Structure 1
Amino acid sequence: MPGSAFVPVSPSSLVTFASCRLRWLLTRAGGDGPAIGSAALGTLVHEVLADGGDADAAALGGRLDLSFGRLGLPAGWITRAKRAEAEAMLGRAAAYFEHAASLGWRRLAAEQQFTATVGRAQISGIVDRLETDDDGRIRVIDYKTGSSKPAAADLARHPQLGAYQVAVAEGAFGPDAIGAGAVLVQLGKAATTKAATSVQAQTPLADDPEPGWAHDAVADAAHAMAGSRFTATVGEGCRTCPVATSCPARPEGGMLT
């Protein structure tokens, strides 16, 4: 890759890249396979929330009725369980909308595409939700529908949230936008019983003791992504890695060593 070429960077991919560069490379090349099971259900929940506005749980459930059949699940207990799981996630989303409103946040956009450039990095993607307050500040919301979540100690330097904040700072959502942080909203099994404690927020860059950390992280990741060496890192993610059979650090991928 020429030294002057832009490097495409997806905020969501930065988490994988930070934990294991080889996994990032292989999944980027198609190693993840098609979305099935819980992944497909999570995608459907995202679509319902994008179309449903800040509706209550009943209204969101009505929208789910219109699209649930697209999953193509057979009749039976598995389908009923998946339906209940989706309804639970939408109920948590509705509770979050009420919680956010009580704190002065209101929806500005949903499923908003964006692009921003930082050095060689061209950050692009779609944010689940943008919120604004009476001061016109903007914060980015990312819905999580899985069963795991980052530790509280890791939020301050969470790469995906940091990339979203960089996008705001670089004018992706308006040239005069003032960032107010970025937030993970847990809707899946990682959520708690209360909306307030299912929210994982990252401090606005301007309030961080190292306000340039996220810009540096994105630029460093882009530089490494443009390289030619991608090492495997053994860690917690190995248990659920979709490309373990191609990994020289795993017994399943031993033939590659």
Structure 2
Amino acid sequence: DLDAVCALFATAARAEERTGGRGALNFLEEIDAQDIAADTLTRRAVRPDAVRLMTAHRSKGLQWRLVVVAGVQEGLWPDLRRRGSLLEADRIGRDGLAAPLPPGALLAEERRLFYVAATRARERLVVTAVKAPADDGDQPSRFLTELGVEPKDVTGRPRRPLSVAALVAELRATTVDPRVSDTLREAAAHRLARLAALSDEDGRPLVPSAHPYRWWGMAEPTASKVPLRDRDQPVVLSGSALDQLANTCALQWFLGREVKADAPASAAQGFGNVVHVLADEVASGRTPADLAVLMERLETVWNALAFDAPWKSQQERDNARVALERFLRWHVLDRAGRTPVATEHGFDVTLGAGDHQVRIRGSMDRVEADRDGRAYVVDFKTGKQAPTGAEVARHPQLAVYQLAVREGAVDDAFDGTRPEPGGAELVQLRQGAAKRDGGETLPKVQAQEPLEGEWVGDLLATAAGKVLDERFTPTTGQHCAHCAFRASCSARPEGRHVVE
């Protein structure tokens, strides 16, 4: 039954539009389960006060006072492509299969269809097309010249909005524009109210953006009666939190860490977690320092990481291999006689910072003992950006590690004795070292000398004060490029409309 086959193809197309690509088996199961054939795209009742949108074919036999025939472009109307499909239904005739329509017949059919569309207007007909400056760009259809009217060229931006969103935006701007009259502002407000009141037959609003309850910045600022942190308790911070609060953006820290509104973990974070785990297994002796073994372990978890495309997954797998190669070469180096004593070493210490008590918690990727018995902290990094030399000298996270060593965070790794902090370093596994430091096969190492002065304590006091006073002011910088809150941040142009 050819009609049934055509209906099946049409139903499959509608199912694709409705639910997306669920697969052929799921579609067939759905069809088989239907007791009565379903069609969710049947014609709805016609609203008397609405604009009707339809094809030229569906307009046959109907007429309106005003008709707009839009997009009459050469190549689209006339469309001289074959009308057939996979089944070439256009060739089916009374006496069997007919020859495909020649271009001349297709052009005549298109002209008849354009005549149908143009004659649906009782009083006024508007035909629109786009004309590109270059000859190889979009051009109006040849049918426009057959209307017997000279086309009118319109250049520049439209005088009035051509979309609902643009109309709502113009009306909202008019209601608060001090340069226009009170009468015009009131008229704009009434027009917004009419748009907001429109709904479909199911009661759903047709223009929800016209209602003030959908507008940003209309509600009064809220204030919590419960303080964010108890002033009688130490302020809990980590090294990365200290960096955000003191040097990057306090608002970003608050929204991401306290409100928990940050974006879900990305594939880049998963990349870093996997490399860190493998580095820990090698340092602890649970996994041999062999690249083939590490890559085999990597493959067992790699497919669990969500990448945007297969090529991106392969690219990052190659980057992971290079990072692990660099780690292994670094791992077997002499490193000035330092020896590992702990990996993934957790710590929790409390110390004074100005008028505040600060509780620092975190984990050190690696702790090593140097020749003098001092504790040296190593932090592995897998990001694509590295700080400058000046930034490393006052890197908050490394400084926090050294403070924690001073307060006894690694005593258990040194047989109960308290070592002096001997410095700390960042090992950039994604980035190769300079030629003078061994070249691309080794990671870039950025060292911080043992702490001097009170600058770290001042940073802790500043960060703790911001948290206790709830002063989360946005600060712009390079970190904005990857911030999840740019669209609602008052310090960014794209987010300023939220509060202004």
User: Fold-level match, TM-score > 0.5?
Assistant: yes
Give the match for residue 256 of structure 1.
Answer: 499
Aligned in 2, Cα 1:241/1:76: closer, same or farther, shift over 3 Å? closer
Instruction: Say whether residues 1:164 and 2:371 are aligned partners.
Output: no
Tell me the amino acid that sits aligned with residue 153 of structure 1.
A
Instruction: Say whether residues 1:49 and 2:279 are aligned partners.
Output: yes
* 1:1-257 paired onto structure 2 within 5 Å: 1-17=229-245, 18-28=247-257, 29-53=259-283, 55-71=289-305, 76-99=310-333, 101-119=334-352, 120-174=357-411, 176-189=418-431, 193-194=439-440, 198-205=444-451, 208=452, 210=453, 212-254=454-496, 255-257=498-500
Aligned in 2, Cα 1:74/1:159: closer, same or farther, shift over 3 Å? closer
Contact 2:338–2:368, Cα closer than 8 Å, also in 1: yes
Q: 1:36-61, CA deviations, whole angstroms, 9 ceiling, x for partnerless residues?
A: 22121111111111122272434432
Pairwise CA distance, 1:191:
5.9
Name which of structure 1's ranges 50-59 and 109-118 shifts more when overlaid on structure 2: 50-59
The 2-side partners of 1:190 and 1:33 are apart by 29
Q: 1:70-107, CA deviations, whole angstroms, 9 ceiling, x for partnerless residues?
A: 325699433221211111111111122133x2421122
Name which of structure 1's ranges 190-199 and 151-160 shifts more when overlaid on structure 2: 190-199
Pairwise CA distance, 1:13:
1.9
- What are structure 2's unaligned runs of at least 5 residues? 1-228, 412-416
The answer to which structure, 1 or 2, has the higher relative contact order (CA under 8 A, 6+ apart) is 1
The 2-side partners of 1:234 and 1:216 are apart by 22
The 2-side partners of 1:118 and 1:190 are apart by 37
Name which of structure 1's ranges 220-229 and 139-148 shifts more when overlaid on structure 2: 220-229
Aligned in 2, Cα 1:138/1:35: closer, same or farther, shift over 3 Å? same
In terms of fraction of residues, the more helix-rich structure is: 1
Tell me the amino acid that sits aligned with residue 261 of structure 2.
G
Number of aligned residue pairs: give it. 252
RMSD: 2.3
Contact 2:346–2:363, Cα closer than 8 Å, also in 1: yes
Name which of structure 1's ranges 55-64 and 107-116 shifts more when overlaid on structure 2: 55-64
Contact 2:432–2:443, Cα closer than 8 Å, also in 1: no
Contact 1:163–1:215, Cα closer than 8 Å, also in 2: no
Aligned in 2, Cα 1:153/1:236: closer, same or farther, shift over 3 Å? same
Pairwise CA distance, 1:139:
1.1
Aligned in 2, Cα 1:216/1:195: closer, same or farther, shift over 3 Å? farther
Tell me the amino acid that sits aligned with residue 95 of structure 1.
R
Q: 1:108-150, CA deviations, whole angstroms, 9 ceiling, x for partnerless residues?
A: 1111111111121100011111111233211111111011111
* Secondary structure of residue in 2 paired with 1:215: helix
Q: 1:140-167, CA deviations, whole angstroms, 9 ceiling, x for partnerless residues?
A: 1111101111111112211111111110
**TM-score, scaled relative to structure 2:** 0.47
Aligned in 2, Cα 1:110/1:27: closer, same or farther, shift over 3 Å? same
Contact 1:118–1:219, Cα closer than 8 Å, also in 2: no
The 2-side partners of 1:37 and 1:256 are apart by 33
The 2-side partners of 1:196 and 1:10 are apart by 29
Contact 1:155–1:202, Cα closer than 8 Å, also in 2: yes
- What are structure 1's unaligned runs of at least 5 residues? none
Name which of structure 1's ranges 185-194 and 117-126 shifts more when overlaid on structure 2: 185-194
Alignment identity in percent? Answer: 38
Contact 2:432–2:442, Cα closer than 8 Å, also in 1: no
Aligned in 2, Cα 1:74/1:15: closer, same or farther, shift over 3 Å? closer
Q: 1:193-250, CA deviations, whole angstroms, 9 ceiling, x for partnerless residues?
A: 4477711111112xx3x2x322332233222222221111111111121221221111
Aligned in 2, Cα 1:244/1:186: closer, same or farther, shift over 3 Å? same
